[in-house]
Amino acid sequence: MRQRLHSNQPDEMSAPGRKKPPQDRCVLLAATELFVGKSRHDIEEQKIFLELARNLLPATTLQDRRRIASMLAAHPEIPDDLLEALASDEDELTAYPALRYSQRLSVDLLLRTVKSGRESLRRAIANRPSLRESVLSALCEHAGADSIRILLQRDDIRLAPVHHDKLSRRGDIVAALGMELAGQDALNPDGLMGQYLHLPAALKAKAIAAAEMASLVKQARTPGTAPVHRQGSAGLHLCDALVAEARAGDRPRFADLLCQGLSLPQPVCDLMLQRDQSDGLTIALKALGMPAAPTATVLIRLFGEQMPLADLRGLLRLHRTLSVGAAGVLAGQWMLQDQTTETTPSRHVPQYQEGSRRKEPARTVPGSAEVSPARRKSGS
């Protein structure tokens, strides 16, 4: 036994290749536990703790950083430098408590996190006890559906019309939270019409009603104008060309012609060629003044293999009951809505040009670069 105590054999923990106990890395955690044990500290104590944290936090293990952040987040005397460091930590679970609970974070840090941070951190900010106007606006512009839902469900926050406008212009938010936004009157008529392609089915009827009302108001403000909409020769040629492209199965070219006829952005026209957006395409064709028979031909050629007969009849009923004026109002809002958001650059062509319909594999639009078929398909 005595020989064993005085043995020259190295201790197991200090043997070559073995790690030493992580005593240094536990110092900050222990100091934090002592710091949060008191609600008030003098200036000297705060300085000592801050200096200790500055030196040891970068080498502190992930698990300990998370525990430290959780303990310090709501402490009233946490040094500001340490608070900002924890809130800016690359680990989400370390940054979350400070972003969620601390009242002394700078507005600049919150704005940076909202604009470029992860969605979990945006949720933390959306749950903060109080939100500055600038932070609330940034959330409405950049946050995902889960974060926006938190704002909508809070009783202590009332979104202003400017926030409603920002949300109404975001198709992803309208698609995910359309019913909740409508329930709080957060979707104004322009927002309903502009985001028609992203609305849940229950709200599309409201958007159409808003478009019909806007069309009637427009007619009332311009008395003496005939309500009958007549197509010119260019419009007739365009409708014939759209039918021809649909029969040929050339969907990219069809989308290009649709953009020309309605001056819509390319991504919007590409979206309307998806199966679940056939009602949007029906409205676009109505806005062009296309009669029912060629409209049915286009819908059958583009969606017939996947569309039940009952759905086709519903689209033709929509085409029959929707006024040309309301269809034009809706299409106009789609153009305006896209111009106010950051989307893929679009191409606007004011008039259909028949001579370039089939001969060129990639056409040049005035004021823009030549677009290849592959690039046209991607909407980029």
Q: What is the pLDDT of residue 182?
A: 83
Residue 289, number of CB atoms within 10 A of its CB: 18
Q: Is 265 helix (H, G, I), strand (E, B) or coil?
A: coil
User: Which stretch of 57-61, 65-69, 120-124 has the lowest confidence by average pLDDT?
Assistant: 57-61
DSSP category for residue 11: P
pLDDT digits (tens, 9 = 90+) for 219-255: 888 765 545 455 668 888 999 999 999 999 999 999 9
Span 112-118, average pLDDT: 94
Higher pLDDT, 122 or 231: 122
**Mean pLDDT, the chain, integer:** 80
Q: How far apart are CA 65 and CA 82, in angstroms?
A: 12
User: Which stretch of 55-64, 111-120, 361-370 has the lowest confidence by average pLDDT?
Assistant: 361-370
Q: How far apart are CA 15 and CA 17, in angstroms?
A: 6
Q: What is the pLDDT of residue 76?
A: 78
pTM of the model: 0.65
Q: How far apart are CA 52 and CA 49, in angstroms?
A: 5
Q: What is the pLDDT of residue 48?
A: 86
Higher pLDDT, 322 or 305: 322
Q: How far is CA 273 from CA 102, 156, 280, 307, 377, in A?
A: 48, 42, 9, 13, 11
Banded model confidence at residue 28, pLDDT cuts 50, 70, 90: confident
Residue 139, number of CB atoms within 10 A of its CB: 26
Residue 67, number of CB atoms within 10 A of its CB: 16
Q: What is the pLDDT of residue 225?
A: 55
Question: Looking up tokens 């601390």, which residue turns up?
Answer: 102
pLDDT digits (tens, 9 = 90+) for 252-299: 999 999 999 999 999 999 999 998 899 999 999 999 999 999 999 999
pLDDT of 89 over the 70 cut? yes
Q: How far apart are CA 295 and CA 189, in angstroms?
A: 27
Residue 257 contacts residue 349 (beta carbons within 8 Å): no
Q: How far apart are CA 109 and CA 100, in angstroms?
A: 13
Q: How far apart are CA 340 and CA 350, in angstroms?
A: 19
Q: How far apart are CA 290 and CA 307, in angstroms?
A: 21
Rounded to 10°, the helix 92-101/107-116 angle is 130
Q: What is the pLDDT of residue 224?
A: 58
Rounded to 10°, the helix 80-87/92-101 angle is 130
Span 9-31, average pLDDT: 53
pLDDT of 184 over the 90 cut? no
Which ranges of 169-305 would DSSP assign to H, the alpha helix?
Answer: 171-183, 189-194, 201-221, 233-248, 251-262, 266-272, 278-287, 292-303
Residue 250's Cβ-count burial label (10 Å; 0-12, 13-18, 19+) is: middle
